[in-house]
Amino acid sequence: MNFIKKIFGGDIDESVHLQFQKFSKGEFRNKAIIEAKNSNGKYTIKTSAEFANEMVRTVAEKLGDEKANVKGVIISTTDLKDKLDFQDKKQFQGIKKYIINKEISGNDIIELINKLPKAFFALSFEAGNNKLKIKPKSPKSGKPGKNGESPKPDFCSLKTDDTELGRSFIFEKPNFKKAEIVHHFIINELILPKGETDYSKVREVAKRKGKIIRNAVIDEEKIESEKEFEA
């Protein structure tokens, strides 16, 4: 389940907390962007980079013990050379990019995600009728398009015939045909851990409290909703 669905369902966990670690107080617009199409139960989901790790985990779970040809990069600010089996490594301004191009089982991918929760997994692979493509590069803050339009959600692409998975991104209308969704994060408060003096640790552990505004256009119908959260 993706982190937006979790928040609107009141199911806050550590993976949701990780999504907001980099945010301070303020308003952050045009986040977690989704474009989705449903053609007779075949879903095409395109998103911005926020959903990458969750998509990788979801498709890896479908792969399970089986192996697939996995291509892409795993990106981190820390040294992972003793924790990864990678084919090449690039580094720029402290950002380390580990290039992956090999056969890996779904369970091994999940194990890596669990072991490296702060790394960014930009991996492309298939599991049955689930085809995932993620751009093999570091995510950047989306810049508005012309006339203030939202940036395009073209970082991640998932094709699937899993109805539950498709509907988890568009939960307002189960039998949608086409949907476009933009989220705005409003962080009103940082709840700091008591007794912690290490600033980096405070920033990591602190919870963000605020709300998410979800602006959707589903089959040409505009739907706005919002949800308060603490994560």
pLDDT number for residue 149: 64
Among 2, 30, 68, residue whose Cα is nearest residue 150: 30
pLDDT number for residue 32: 98
Residues 177 and 206 in one domain: yes
Provide the pairing of β-strand 95-105 with 88-92. Answer: antiparallel
Residues 121 and 60 in one domain: yes
For 105, the domain range is: 51-130
Final residue of a structural domain among 130, 159, 186: 130
Q: State which residues of the chain have pLDDT below 70.
A: 141-149
Domain count, the chain: 2
pLDDT number for residue 195: 83
pLDDT number for residue 148: 56
**CA-CA distance, 98 to 80, in Å (whole number)?**
8
Residues 57 and 78 in one domain: yes
The answer to whether residue 61 is domain-embedded is yes
The answer to whether residue 85 is domain-embedded is yes
Residues 58 and 41 in one domain: no
Residues 18 and 76 in one domain: no
Final residue of a structural domain among 88, 107, 130: 130
**CA-CA distance, 179 to 220, in Å (whole number)?**
8
The answer to whether residue 1 is domain-embedded is no
Residues 157 and 226 in one domain: yes
pLDDT number for residue 198: 84
**CA-CA distance, 216 to 172, in Å (whole number)?**
9
Final residue of a structural domain among 105, 130, 155: 130
